[in-house]
Structure 1
């Protein structure tokens, strides 16, 4: 369980949140009494989207002066950051029980859905949502001589002959062979030297993709099936230095796996 972080707002409502392994969220609040002239609603609003892109969850009595709102896993929540409010006021994060999200295995059918409640830097409750029809979940990374080996599990697409991993930076793309495929489990080794040619004069951020079979559309490799809404400051991998460059895997703000290559002065 994790507690409250950020700036305290004693005037704001506060919600405790429990996540389940299917992707559902339950919000419990104190100080709200359903039954008034207007039934209170817990509102989720997607940041940067059209104002109509909102999801309202009725608050119902839960005993002991508490109210409860439930976001079932069956209710679609578009990918992005969703701010939580009640009656126009932002909601503070209380206790967030996200233990059920660790090492999640999504349903065999349907899109991969992941929702992680989190505290914003200014002390508000928000939900990070991922919703992808096809997904390649990054697993363990191992490091060897001049490169890294990545384990990946594929969801929502059938593996077949000619599967490859791809590193992309702008219009450039490099492919490397993969091994495995049974049960959607793949692994590949990516040499950094290939990504540093020609010698870099600025940072290159290579995106990693999995093409599950020859001619199939590639699937972005990311890690979203756990309790971390932002991996950037949590997963820091060792750098490897080559001829005029340093390279290391890293995650983007969307928890998508990349390899960062920078010049060495």
Structure 2
């Protein structure tokens, strides 16, 4: 019996709320194990097929993207395509407020449909929730895990690429919840000669040492950028700058400010 190594392998997977994932290989390819390979570091994790492969919740998995391969013995290693993914238990997942660290693993189809796993490990963690827009500003609500807000809690907007350029607004909340209102004006006042990016951090005690990056990872969306698209609004009274919140490639919450191009005046033909 031969194995057609040109035919892609498919694996179905089921994610559990505790962070475990069960992989079911849908094709008979003499595979003995699935191998997860970290896309940046090359670290490998082998999961034996017996008959299914299980990534246990307690198995350490470094943050980042892991590509999935099948070990087919003498036929070599083969890339695995994404089959049916049952991620229903991840929707609106709500860990215990004291949970630390918060571990998230989401299987997803990468470029070309190849199966991959996105992993986060954060302690503590600030989960972004609803975003409400007002005139030249926004209010963000969320939940904090692994720590609690102190009396001096603030949100800190950091200008990307310019260490030390920050803006603070008070953060409030109780029982694990947090909220803050961020006006766009002070950020626009720094100057927006080109697109600028502000990353949002929560400082539960008001001190930078305990800063927590605000993100949204507690659901079934591995790559939120491009899926959650928010409206742009004016950032200054003159209408020279617009602002739009967005999620980065790591599902972290940031804010982009864009200068508004002056209308072109038609010249002589």
| TM-score where L is the length of structure 1 | 0.88
Q: Tell me the SS of whatever aligns to 2:112.
A: coil
Distance 1:43 1:14 in 2: 14
- Indicate the residue corresponding to 1:184 in structure 2: 176
- Count of residue pairs the alignment pairs up: 244
SS at match of 1:122: helix
Per the alignment, in what secondary structure is the counterpart of residue 189 of structure 1? Answer: strand
More displaced 10-residue stretch of structure 1: 82-91 or 213-222: 213-222
Q: Distance in 2 between matches of 1:56 and 1:261?
A: 44
Residue 121 of structure 1 is matched in structure 2 by 111
**How many Å separate the matches in 2 of 1:109 and 1:190?**
27
Structure 1 unaligned regions, length at least 5: 1-8, 62-67
Partner residue of 1:12? 8
Rounded to whole Å, the distance in 2 between the matches of 1:126 and 1:109 is 26
Corresponding residue for 2:56? 72
Instruction: Give the distance between the partners of 2:203 and 2:166, measured in 1 at CA.
Output: 12
For residues 26-56 of structure 1, the C-alpha deviation after alignment (integer angstroms, 9 at most, x for no partner) is: 101133477xxxx71110010010x3x1111
CA–CA separation in structure 2 for the residues paired with 1:239 and 1:40: 51
Partner of 1:65: none
* 1:151 equivalent among 132, 137, 141: 141
SS at 1:94 equivalent = strand
1:139 partnered with 2:132: no
Once residues 31 and 183 of structure 1 are traced to their aligned partners in structure 2, the CA distance between those partners, rounded to angstroms, is 48
RMSD between aligned residues: 1.6
CA distance in 1, matches of 2:80, 2:26: 11
- Structure 2 length as normaliser, TM-score? 0.87
Checking the alignment, whether the CA contact within 8 Å between 1:199 and 1:263 is kept in structure 2 is: no
Mapped partners of 1:93, 1:208: distance in 2: 33
- Is 1:85 aligned to residue 50 of structure 2? no
> Max radius of gyration: which structure?
2
Tell me, in whole angstroms, the C-alpha distance in 1 between the residues paired with 2:137 and 2:6: 50
Deviation at 1:121, TM superposition (A): 1.6
